[in-house]
Amino acid sequence: MVDPRLWASLPFNNRNAWIDFTGCFDLWHRALAAKVAALTGTTYKTYPLGNGVGTDWLHAVQRQYQNAAAALGIAPPPDLESYDLDQAGDFASWTFTISQTSRTLARAAGLE
């Protein structure tokens, strides 16, 4: 399983890195959902996160994190969708936040 801490260092404006990230991100979330189901007996709605395009994608990310947190019985995630990923500062903040929030989910699910 990929350590989500790596996502904090995703380079800005690098299309190949973004494509690699979104594919790994989607697979990571599928593995998380399977682990949560095995651990809690609860399944939750997941979204296709492999394309990484647009505000609808960020909304799907937000909903997926909310669903996972609810299934694990932990606090909901911070805002993950009000970022402009075309801006370097927002991108850096988002990648750091998604990294840390993913670690929280992974620890709660026993993936760390």
Report pLDDT digits (tens) over 8-23: 999 999 999 999 999 9
21 is a domain residue: no
Which residue, chain included where needed, has tokens 């690699």?
20
92 is a domain residue: yes
Number of Cβ within a 10 Å radius of residue 64: 24
38 is a domain residue: yes
74 is a domain residue: yes
Structural domain containing residue 69: 33-109
70 is a domain residue: yes
Report pTM: 0.93
Q: How confident is the model at residue 111 (pLDDT cuts 50, 70, 90)?
A: confident
Q: How many structural domains does the chain have?
A: 1
State pLDDT tens for residues 16-45. 999 999 999 999 999 999 999 999 999 999
Q: Average of pLDDT values for 71-85?
A: 96
Token pair listed for 69: 């947190």
CB 17 within 8 A of CB 11: yes
Q: What type of residue sits at position 100? A: Q
Token pair listed for 16: 């190949």
Q: What type of residue sits at position 61? A: V
22 is a domain residue: no
26 is a domain residue: no
